């Protein structure tokens, strides 16, 4: 048997991903991101082999230094002998374009490391939704054997919140400021934070901000975890050891408290239902579009001849017939 397996074969591609082959990994990620049927077939093969990676969400306001932090943190995990996957959901991603020279140089030291794989997802509104696609990308990186997967999101829209749900550990990155940060954090983002990073700690007010966070936020959570506040200077790669320690400690906490299993079940439920919703919706809409019902019903609702609920029932009825 000298014949090499066809590179296009799903089975061969899945096998190569499991061995950590970078080219196969890129190819499969493209298939998965484009919603290709072969991509889904490969996912079927890969999924049972996953669940080993620690998924870390890095979220926070625009410009707080998330990308810089992700790179510095990736390097720290490499120093610890871990392989790293990076997923950036960022339309203006410095991973691909528009990066400042200093950022690019910093990045090159990582992109040339075979133990690191970086995937930037600039495709908003991709087929099946951003969150679904991101989950698939994470699954593929996990199958490729990445120990830690860092996922950067801006943390604003619904999609981002869903993605944060996917992470085992979420780091919320804030910056020293005038105090409105605390209101923002209090207003909701803290619910998703397992670790708070006050980045740009080289700037004035970093100490005050960190102290205010300690005073105004309830850091002791009901599940027994205490949210650490870590001052970082991502541009200088400072405090990355402390941050990586906190992430590993949180993973240990999840493991020993049973949180890992509970979260896995919740995630499974969410992903299953989301996939089912997409499939049902996809079918109904495709059919209604093909037979012209969709446009008729839209017109009827717009002209107030039908209310949206009745129109929706007719849409579903029509797809059965």
Which positions lie near ligand GTP, rule CB under 6 A?
62-68, 90, 92, 94, 154, 199-200, 202-203, 233-235
Q: Which does 234 bind (CB under 5 to 8 A by kind): Mg ion, ligand GTP, none?
A: ligand GTP
Cβ closest to ligand GTP, residue 145 vs residue 228 = 228
Q: Provide, rounded to whole angstroms, the least separation between the CB of residue 63 and Mg ion.
A: 8
Q: Which residues contact 22 (CB under 8 A, 6 or more apart)?
A: 114, 117
Q: At closest approach, how far in Å is the CB of 232 from ligand GTP?
A: 6
- Report what 57 binds from Mg ion, ligand GTP, none; CB cut-off 5-8 Å by kind: none
Closest among 139, 141, 138, 136 to 126, alpha carbons compared: 136
The answer to whether 214 and 248 have CB atoms below 8 angstroms apart is no
Cβ nearer to ligand GTP, comparing 7 with 203: 203
Min dist CB 152 to Mg ion, Å, is 6
151: β partners: 57, 87
Contact 251, 195 (CB under 8 A): no
Q: Which structure tokens are listed for 80?
A: 């610890």
Nearer to Mg ion, 90 or 181 (CB): 90
Q: Which does 138 bind (CB under 5 to 8 A by kind): Mg ion, ligand GTP, none?
A: none
The residues of the shown chain that bind Mg ion, judged by CB under 5 A, are 66-67, 90
Pairing relationship of beta strands 169-174 and 84-89 according to DSSP bridges? unpaired
281 CB neighbour count, 10 Å cutoff? 10
Spatial distance between the Cα atoms of 310 and 86, rounded to a whole number of angstroms? 45
63 binds, among ligand GTP, Mg ion, none (CB under 5 to 8 A by kind): ligand GTP
Nearer to ligand GTP, 240 or 306 (CB): 240
Minimum CB distance to ligand GTP smaller for 164 or for 234: 234
Dihedral class, residue 14 (left if φ above 0, else alpha if ψ from -120 to 50, else beta): alpha
Whole-angstrom distance, CA of residue 218 vs CA of residue 311: 47
How far apart are CB 217 and ligand GTP at their closest, in Å?
A: 21
C-alpha–C-alpha distance, residues 189 and 155, integer Å:
8
The one of Mg ion, ligand GTP, none whose footprint includes residue 27, by CB under 5 to 8 A per kind, is none
């Amino acid at each position: 048997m000298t014949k090499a397996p066809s590179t296009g074969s799903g089975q061969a591609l899945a096998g190569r991903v499991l061995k950590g082959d970078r080219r196969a990994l890129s190819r499969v990620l493209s298939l998965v991101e484009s919603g290709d049927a072969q991509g889904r077939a490969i996912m079927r093969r890969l999924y049972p082999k996953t669940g080993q990676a620690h998924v870390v969400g890095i979220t926070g306001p625009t410009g707080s230094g998330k990308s810089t932090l992700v790179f510095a943190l990736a390097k720290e995990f490499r120093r610890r002998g871990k392989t790293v996957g990076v997923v950036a959901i960022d339309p203006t991603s410095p991973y691909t374009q528009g990066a400042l020279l200093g950022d690019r140089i910093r990045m090159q030291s990582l992109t040339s490391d075979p133990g690191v794989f970086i995937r930037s997802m600039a495709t908003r509104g991709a087929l099946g939704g951003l969150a679904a696609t991101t989950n698939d990308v994470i699954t593929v990186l996990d199958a490729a054997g990445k120990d830690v997967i860092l996922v950067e999101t801006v943390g604003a829209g619904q999609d981002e919140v869903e993605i944060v749900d996917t992470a085992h550990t979420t780091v919320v990155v804030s910056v020293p400021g005038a105090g409105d940060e605390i209101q923002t954090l209090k207003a909701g983002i803290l619910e998703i934070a397992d670790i708070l990073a006050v980045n740009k700690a080289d700037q004035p007010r970093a100490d005050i901000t960190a102290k205010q966070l300690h005073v105004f936020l309830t850091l002791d959570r009901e599940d027994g975890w205490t949210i650490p506040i870590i001052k970082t200077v991502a541009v200088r790669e400072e405090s990355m050891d402390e941050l990586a320690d906190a992430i590993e400690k949180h993973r240990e906490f999840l493991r020993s408290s049973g949180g890992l299993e509970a979260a896995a079940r919740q995630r499974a439920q969410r992903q299953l239902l989301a996939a089912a919703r997409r499939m049902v919706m996809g079918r109904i809409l495709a059919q209604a579009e093909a037979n012209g019902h969709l446009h008729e019903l839209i017109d009827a609702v717009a002209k107030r001849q039908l209310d949206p609920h009745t129109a929706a029932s007719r849409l579903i009825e029509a797809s059965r017939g």
